[in-house]
């Protein structure tokens, strides 16, 4: 394998802080760049989180999940399931965590015959 050198320009503070994080993770900048190039070559795309970062999308988490859209999609799946099996859906509005915990505890005690 013949080696090729890459030269890029970036802010010196960004380079220093990035190198520090990469070193703390146990890698070298060259290893990280090679891994990115290998990913792009094998997958034919960039990692989703990197693609969103390059587009300036701030609603995406570190692994590329579009959190707001995934949450509303999940709620729609649950709602559809409730309708299909005839379960009454939850009442709209905020649910108190302490109340849910108490209801779950009471339900478990009933199952155990202790209520």
Residue 15's pLDDT is what? 94
72 and 38 co-located in one domain: no
pLDDT at 91 over 70: no
Residue 93 lies in a domain: yes
- Share of residues in the chain with pLDDT > 70 (%): 78
Domain that residue 106 falls in = 67-111
Q: Which residues contact 47 (CB under 8 A, 6 or more apart)?
A: 36, 39, 64
Total count of domains within the chain: 2
Q: Is residue 84 part of a domain?
A: yes
Same domain, 35 and 71: no
Residue 28 in this model has a pLDDT that exceeds 60? yes
* Residue 79 placed within a domain: yes
Kindly tell me if the per-residue pLDDT of 90 is higher than 70.
no
Residue 55 lies in a domain: no
- Check whether residue 72 and residue 102 sit in a common domain: yes
d(CA 56, CA 61) in angstroms, rounded, equals 12
72 and 107 housed in the same domain: yes
Domain for residue 57, yes or no? no
Whole-structure pTM value: 0.49
A 10 A CB-CB count for 51 gives 13
DSSP symbol at 100: H
Is the residue at 5 inside a domain?
A: no
DSSP letter (8 states) at residue 87: P
**64 touches 47 (CB < 8 A):** yes
């Amino acid at each position: 394998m013949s080696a090729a050198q890459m030269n890029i320009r970036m802010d010196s503070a960004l380079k220093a802080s990035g190198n520090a994080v990469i070193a703390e993770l146990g890698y070298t900048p060259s290893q990280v760049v090679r891994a990115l190039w290998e990913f792009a070559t094998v997958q034919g795309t960039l990692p989703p989180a990197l693609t969103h970062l390059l587009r300036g999308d701030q609603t995406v988490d570190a692994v590329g999940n579009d959190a707001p859209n995934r949450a509303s999609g999940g709620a729609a799946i649950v709602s559809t399931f409730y309708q299909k099996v005839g379960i009454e859906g939850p009442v709209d509005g905020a649910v108190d965590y302490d109340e849910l915990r108490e209801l779950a505890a009471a339900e478990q005690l009933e199952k155990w015959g202790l209520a």
